[in-house]
Amino acid sequence: MTVGIDLIHFATADYYLGLDTFAREKGTELEKYTVGIGQEKMSIAPPDEDIVTLAAKAARPILDQIDPNSITNVLFATESGVDQSKSAGAYLHGLLGLSNRCRTVELKHACYGGTAALQMACALVTANPKERILVIAADIAKYDVDSSGEATQGCGAVAMLITPDPRILAIEPGSGYFTEDVMDFWRPNHRATALVDGKYSTKVYLNSLKQAWQHFVSETGRSFEQIDAFCYHIPFSRMTEKAHKALCKTVGARLSKNTFQTQTQPGQIYNRVLGNSYSASLFIGFCSFLDNAPDDLSHKRFGLFSYGSGCVAEFLTGIVQPGYEKVLMRGSHQKQIQARTPLTYEQYLTFYYPATQDPDNVTFDVNNRGPYRLSGIQHAIRRYQNRS
Ligand code: HMG
């Protein structure tokens, strides 16, 4: 029996800030963003969109294709948690009307959380093939105004259905992982925005890749040459190029420009116009690869590198299943990206850094055009609206 991703769909916000607008505002050359970090736009969530509404928007098209009562677990990975106790998964469970015979939990380790959820889901399904698991990775990336990270914000949620005999990607047993207690990026409880030591974080990312790869090789015996395509965690799309170059150096591979591009480029297309979506970013990159690769990917082995600051990393592989094309939701992904409304820099500030208000009692203006929205918070209780 194989286990892995049976269906995958992502959602993003209805608005974006162009890095052209951003560069004008900051008096910076546009090429610093389009070439230097490889980004064009950042998806920006209005105050009535949060990780729960993004997750519900991502999951809805999956649930529409199956019996929602068959979901036995919701594993919700995020570092943009909306409550210190109640899991975002419980809000999502209610909004989606899932069965009460379901386990629900929230998982966290920066951008790595989604991979932890995926691996745990695969282990649960392997132990009991009756399990049908909804894995969510959802985040809204927020840094301080005028910080080095501001150009790398974004948001998105990925929903994945994990089952036996999956139709998209069979995850292979064995992986390489690495943990080190470092301060490259973190967000203390009292802060809405992350703190980052930007240049150091890219160094730690690359070292973690090398460490996780070496562990992967010793655990699985698989080699670089046996992997056809690579998806990396994408904080900004140029990080993929840096990562793949570093991995090639580690294994002593000398790739032609064409092979390098074929192995990595289709995975960057969506992230370039969405920005960082933290825990969702690797999987949006995977969707981007599947949706945009010019060739049939059936039977191809994918290498997935997950990195979460602080830091935890993992390198794993999976085999794309024949017939995967029939169950991709490419149309929905592309429609959402194209339908977004551009923001001025001032509008972005009002969405991301709203004037101080009572956090326990607030009603939000209607900006979110999706099927689910956060209408407000009354007496510290979040009120969601289902318009689906
Ligand atoms: P910076 O200081 O804004 O930019 O920091 P820079 O001056 O280093 O320039 C960036 C690149 O653009 C450089 O290229 C410049 O040469 C180039 P590189 O040296 O990297 O090859 N450049 C230009 N190119 C063409 N034309 C121009 C031009 N000007 C400059 N005119 C930094 C960049 C990434 C540090 C910043 O954006 C940042 O702090 N980002 C946030 C942290 C981050 O994304 N780190 C990535 C690794 S950690 C990670 O991925 C985890 C994370 O997702 C969080 C989590 O796990 O939860 C962040």
**Which pLDDT tens digit goes with each residue over 128-152?**
999 999 999 999 999 999 999 999 9
| pLDDT in the model for residue 366 | 98
- What the block records as the tokens of 70 is 């068959």
For the Cβ of 201 lying below 6 angstroms from any atom of ligand 1, the answer is yes
In which domain, by residue range, is 307 found? 3-386
- 29 as an active site residue: the answer is no
197 CA closest ligand 1 atom index: 39
DSSP codes joined into one string, 31-94: HIIIIII---EEEE--TT--HHHHHHHHHHHHHTTS-GGG--EEEEE-SS-S-SSS-HHHHHHH
Cα 15 to Cα 34: distance, rounded to the nearest angstrom: 19
80-104: per-residue pLDDT in tens? 999 999 999 999 999 999 999 999 9
How many domains would you assign to the chain?
1
Q: Are strands 381-386 and 372-378 parallel, antiparallel or unpaired?
A: antiparallel
Q: Which residue, 317, 310, 320, 318, is CA-closest to 112? A: 310
> What stretches of the chain show up as alpha helix (H) in DSSP?
19-26, 31, 51-63, 88-96, 113-127, 198-220, 238-251, 257-264, 269-274, 281-292, 330-338, 345-352
What percent of the chain is helix, strand and coil (3-state, nearest 5)?
40, 25, 35
User: Does 102 participate in catalysis according to the annotation?
Assistant: no
pLDDT, residue 356, reads 77
Closest protein CA for atom 14 of ligand 1: 36
CATH number, domain containing residue 380: 3.40.47.10
Q: Closest Cα to atom 35, ligand 1: which residue?
A: 198
Catalytic annotation on 122?
no
Nearest-atom number in ligand 1 for the CA of 143 is: 41
Residue with tokens 């809405």: 192
Q: What is the pLDDT of residue 354?
A: 86
List the chain pLDDT tens, one digit each, 388 residues. Answer: 999 999 999 999 999 999 999 999 999 999 999 999 999 999 999 999 999 999 999 999 999 999 999 999 999 999 999 999 999 999 999 999 999 999 999 999 999 999 999 999 999 999 999 999 999 999 999 999 999 999 999 999 999 999 999 999 999 999 999 999 999 999 999 999 999 999 999 999 999 999 999 999 999 999 999 999 999 999 999 999 999 999 999 999 999 999 999 999 999 999 999 999 999 999 999 999 999 999 999 999 999 999 999 999 999 999 999 999 999 999 999 999 999 999 999 999 999 998 878 999 999 999 999 999 999 999 999 999 999 8
pTM higher than 0.95 for the full model?
A: yes
Q: Please identify, by atom number, the ligand 1 atom nearest to the C-alpha of residue 33.
A: 12
Nearest CA to ligand 1 atom 10: 36
